[in-house]
Structure 1
Amino acid sequence: MSESFTFSVTGTDGTARTGEIRMPRGVIRTPAFMPVGTAATVKAMYPEQVKALGADVVLGNTYHLMLRPGAERVAALGGLHKFMNWPYPILTDSGGFQVMSLSKLRKIDESGVTFQSHVDGATHVLTPERSIEIQGLLGADIQMQLDECVKLPASPQDTERAMRLSLRWAERCRRAFGEQPGKALFGIVQGGEDRALRIESARALVDMDFKGYAIGGLAVGEPQATMLAMIETVVPYLPTTKPRYLMGVGTPDDLVAAVTRGIDMFDCVMPTRAGRHGLAYTRFGKINLKNARHADDPAPLDPTSSCPAANSYSRAYLHHLVKSGEILGMMLLTWANLAYYQDLMASLRKAIVDNTLADVSAAIRADWGAGAADAPGEADQAS
């Protein structure tokens, strides 16, 4: 552990790199996948399970926590770490994306965003300063600037307006955050699909000297090729000495592709959300436990997995739990999915150190298959 926030690169393989973020609450090994704990919980998981899988940091969300239970209440109860029994690093999203996507009504102007809560319809105002205040009340170790995230595809005018507004908000967040030893504020590169805007955004944020830099406004429905092109555009303009975070991404294939292009941090609701809806992520690909083909299959999801949810329960039993709507099914599949994601990141970190990333990435993709929708178990192999 460190009393300050530091980042060091410990290995490279081409553009990919592995390293460590050190801060008072612990070390984050990169490339890192951050399980999403939006409302102070990684859904269907105990905190101890999340840590045991290898997660060094989880994500919380300003928008959801300011609405319920309230940032001031969390602060009065000892902060988010104590509140959710997670004594390790926490990154909080600024709430900007959720304001744009979830609020019933919203008005964006220079000062910030006025919106109606999707919970009870109450009116709230989220400014850059208030976002930083909320993240401070929560006690987040890594905080994000407030930005405007436009949905792609967007008009050139909307894309440029949102990017420039996000830059002005970044300056205000930087001032509001000040200097907080052991904690970090990240800037967010915006600019949609426009290379010139992305470069301008990255350069301006680097001039503001954030502790880390995120690439935002992707994973919002655009093709993977567009996402990768934007990563390739932005990464050369970001400091090699600071962490790079690709927000809201993604599928295992997205993670592998982004790591090879120099990204250090990721978050996505995909593994937990999929687990609650009967879908498992494994080294063989995606397995839909709702499918009748699994009803008589005694095989586990993956006998080689270190996770009991993946190696000790039959597909037939998991199918039964899913079809019956049993909570245990959601818990087991979420556990298995997060285990797969953490194991994937561990394998990528090792491959970078060993300079075998190309071979390991190819093997991962070969096992996964091109967009495989299901994977065979014993019942299928015997038929």
Structure 2
Amino acid sequence: MKEGAPNACLQDQCQPKSERTLWGGRNVGERRCFRARLRRDPSVQEDLALYPAFQDVNIMVVLGFAFLLAFLRRYGFSSAGFSLFLAALGVQWALIVNGFIFHFSDGQVKINLQSILAAIMSITAVLISAGAILGKANLMQLICMAMVEVAVFAGTRWIIVDVLGIKSHISLMHVHLFGAFFGSTVSWFLYNSSLHPKVEKERSKPASDVFAILGTLFLWTFWPSFNSVLVQKEEEKQAAIYNTYFAMATSAVAAFAFSKATSSDGTFHMAHIQNATLAGGVAVGSSVSIIRYPWIAMTLGLVAGAGSVLGFAFLQKRLEPALRIHDTCGVLYTFGLPSLIGGITRIILILIDSQEDLEGMGYLALTELGASCAIISLGLMAGLITGFLLTFEFWKAPPITKYFDDQAFWEFPHLAAGY
């Protein structure tokens, strides 16, 4: 038998026969959209000024998430490779969808670095959701999920920006909340009770944990750029950078402290450090430009980091079997819970700042509450629809024996032993 033949058989089992047709049709459609309607905005000077921050966000999303998801001992190829593919495909689709919803005029959609940035930030939701079903879906299922999620998130942003009057960059800060609830709902459809407790291939090994913590370091380093890049006023942008850094620093300290406190033998848990250190940046995102004092950002980071660790330590093993969901990466506790904390904090800060105008205070608070409710409800509904679609036999999903295993999708000329 030729080398790689067993892997070819596995790939045939997990991929639909119509895959080539689907891929070709999708690529042709995207090329026609770009050729017919999308045009580059000639504002070169503005693009050049934005490019350094653009690179920060690009590295954070593409490199950071690819490494962060690579913690599974036998799923490193797929974690990194599929993340790159979803990011590349998702940005193109997000440019088209966002362009026709937000930037369509005179029969054309103008593209600049700011619109590409919004597209990159939008596909963060896809990468977060992919973490919830990591190792349990093939690439075609992930593509389907990405196409639906990007479109629904863009539509949700239109509701909270054009209908509720929320600022555009604030709407993008809800990407974590949307991705976490969307992905968790999709995972409900892919739930299998035999995954509790964890199967052997769902565990990590020292080398894979090093890659994951490297992803955390990239995300942690560049998160201030993510939260501040689309803020327009210089004073607010400066506040966004400072507040994000303060919140990230305290959430990192809280992650170490609470990880040790919740451990039975007083050791640190690598999953807590990889994920809870990021909770401060998630929580502070929606209110990052209106926080006036560093201690508020630091307190928010502390609460988010502590809440994330406690979620991993106590909620995950009790809540998920009860709700019949299987969240591979714990996105509910890394992104969902901190986002909820951040949304509540933003409403409180608005109420405090608007005490002199009771009527205006009530309206602003209600619009912010409405935005959070819209994000959660539409994320849940879209996740239900997408999860239902992914259960069709058409996709030829991997059997449970091939969960968390690269050999179902990648060529391995060497033997699997020792992998």
TM-score (norm 1): 0.24
Larger relative strand fraction: 1
The structure with the greater share of residues assigned to helix is 2
Bigger relative contact order (CA 8 A; separation at least 6): 2
